[in-house]
Amino acid sequence: MTRGTQADDPHPAASPVRRAPSPPGSPVVGHARAFQRDPLGFLQAAAQACGPVARLKLGPMTYHLVSDPALIAEVLQVRASNYLRDTRSSRRVRMVTGESLLTSEGTAWRHQRQAVQPIFHHRNLLDLGRTMLNVVDEACAGWERAAASGATLDLVTEMSRLSFAVAGRCLFGADLRDRANAVEGALPVLLEELFRRTSHVANLPQWLPLPRHLAFRRSLAAIHRVVAEVIDEHRLPVTGSRSAAVDLLGLLMKARSETGAPLSDEDLRNHVVTFLLAGHETTANALTWAFALLAMAPQELEHVHTELDRVAFDARESGAIECLPQLEHVGAVLQETLRLYPSIWIAERRVVEVDDLGGWRLPAGSAVVVSPYVVHRQPGRWDQPEVFRPARFRNGEPPLLLRDGYFPFGAGPHTCIGQHFALMEAKIILATLLSRFRVTLLNGALPAPLGGITLRPSTAVPIRVERRRL
């Protein structure tokens, strides 16, 4: 059996409603230290020990880890209006993005989602796909040089730059390659501080001039500078350096509020920062893991190469975009990568009114966390969950969904708006680079995953690349 299996009935037989079970923890800080030390391992162990709902204490705050798909569907979809995203972690994200699609709720959120939705429509995605093919084809020159000289590359940096270049051109109509350094230095500082502030029970005020806080401020200012440049450039008349194709920033500039007013400069900036934050590192991480997993699984890699050769995939050909649906194994590799390494590995909601979830009492004001990482690796649900096996996503079978325990892009109203964009981008990058190059991991082993705001490798991933075919 290679696909997900149904778990036991998540609803405890005993009623009346009770407090959910809790793993052992310290009387004062609860589970805070265990979570900070190893967030991924701690949550996996808590779900294993406590079942569908585990009650966790981070100091004074109560979290419920919900790890049964039927109950997760209750939280994210069926009773989404009782489980809002206005949470501690979203307040932290707001420190970077301000009020935006990632942090808002209610009417403001709906309005923002409607304003940007057209960019992700199927018809527009095909045009964006053509832009992606050009960006990736241009980036191959760097790999050609590395292949010729035998230089070592870092997979994490390579994927970060590539997905940054794609985001720049497709979302903002900008060539961001010369600004990659500024963002590469700044984004990790911001993400690390956000996660630190979310996972720590108590935080010192951000205005205190600690080195960490100063680095955060400098990094935010650096991102704001890049974003201001991107917006200013977009306001210039279209020239050869920027095509007239529709992009997200263009749509946002045309968007009007209910009163007919255009977005303020600050709103525009918040949207651009949001899409950089949500759309750049997520896809870059997924790609890093996909290349690394393939490099460690020669048979799967051979399968991908055979498919690329059979389809004669070539990013330079005008029909390349139409070839993408034929790359079924590449698609399965990506789905399986996101099972093992879902870039957004945890999501949080606030309980508005007291609820009985599967027979467990969730008090108003407490929080719920759901983790695709935990559910995607549950032993009772997946056959050999730790093994990389793209055949789980066999073509022709119905796609795996949340009810099967698979939800790398979330579910319900806040489901990832960039899902199809991300999958197309990742497919184009994998297919283009693997059709031309063979990738070897120099460390000969997968890096350990690090659960922060996104799920990334804990170390650099040195690789060597060789030419395959012209």
Q: Which residues bind ligand HEM (CB under 6 A)?
A: 85, 101-102, 113, 275, 278-279, 282-283, 286, 338, 342-344, 347, 408-410, 414, 416-418, 421-422
Residue placing its CB nearer to ligand HEM in the complex, 420 or 438: 420
Instruction: Report how far residue 106's alpha carbon sits from residue 133's, in angstroms, rounded to the nearest whole number.
Output: 37
Nearer to ligand HEM by C-beta: 319 or 399? 399
Closer to ligand HEM by Cβ: residue 109 or 314? 109
Name which of 344 and 428 has its Cβ closer to ligand HEM: 344
As a whole number of angstroms, the distance between CA 73 and CA 412 comes to: 8
- Closest residue by beta carbon to ligand HEM: 418
Segment (H or E) for 96: helix 88-97
- Rounded CA gap, 367 and 62, in Å? 6
With vertex at residue 219, the alpha carbon angle to CA 215 and CA 222, rounded to the nearest 5 degrees, is 140
CB of 135 to ligand HEM, least distance (A): 14
Pick between residue 113 and residue 212 the one whose CB is nearest to ligand HEM.
Answer: 113
Alpha helix ranges (H) inside 280-418: 281-295, 298-311, 320-323, 328-340, 372-376
In a 10 Å sphere around its CB, with 0-12 CB exposed, 13-18 middle and 19+ buried, how is residue 462 labelled?
middle
Q: What is the DSSP string of 47-94?
A: HHHH-SEEEEEETTEEEEEE--HHHHHIIIIITGGGEES-SHHHHHHH
Least distance to ligand HEM from the beta carbon of 388, Å?
A: 17
Q: Which is nearer to ligand HEM, 274 or 435 (CB)?
A: 274
Six-digit token string for 323: 């070839």
Least Å distance, CB 337 to ligand HEM, is 9
Question: Nearest distance from residue 24's CB to ligand HEM, in Å?
Answer: 29
Angstrom distance (rounded) from CA 74 to CA 193: 31
Shortest reach from residue 244's CB to ligand HEM, in Å: 20
Q: How far is the CB of 110 from ligand HEM (least distance, A)?
A: 9
Q: How far is the CB of 186 from ligand HEM (least distance, A)?
A: 19
- Decide whether 29 or 274 has the Cβ nearer to ligand HEM: 274
